[in-house]
Amino acid sequence: MANHKSAEKRNRQSQVRRVRNRINRSKMKTVVKSLNSAIESGSVEEAKSALTVAVPMIAKTASKGTIHKKNASRKISRLTRKVNAMEANT
């Protein structure tokens, strides 16, 4: 437990940031799941539209510092390759 005024403030800030990070990460994971379900369904148009929603959300999560920027880049790259592979197969 924090005993100093500055430590108490740091604790409050950490709690607020933790909640904000959880919200951002949860939103990102939701759009990624919807993209993955679109890929599994085999609908190219649905997957493309889900990708256009997912990419900015992942980038935004990285810009907020919730995930590392290289982690975001890797996620975007992998999802884009999956959608492009779907398009090439049809």
Rounded-to-integer distance, Cα 90 and Cα 88, Å? 6
Give CA angle at 82 (76, 87), nearest 5°: 125
Work out the pLDDT band at 90, boundaries 50, 70, 90.
confident
Mean pLDDT, rounded, of the chain: 95
CATH value at residue 61: 1.20.58.110
- Domain region containing 68: 5-89
pLDDT digits (tens, 9 = 90+) for 46-74: 999 999 999 999 999 999 999 999 999 99
* Structural domains counted in the chain: 1
Rounded-to-integer distance, Cα 36 and Cα 83, Å? 9
pLDDT digits (tens, 9 = 90+) for 3-46: 899 999 999 999 999 999 999 999 999 999 999 999 999 999 99
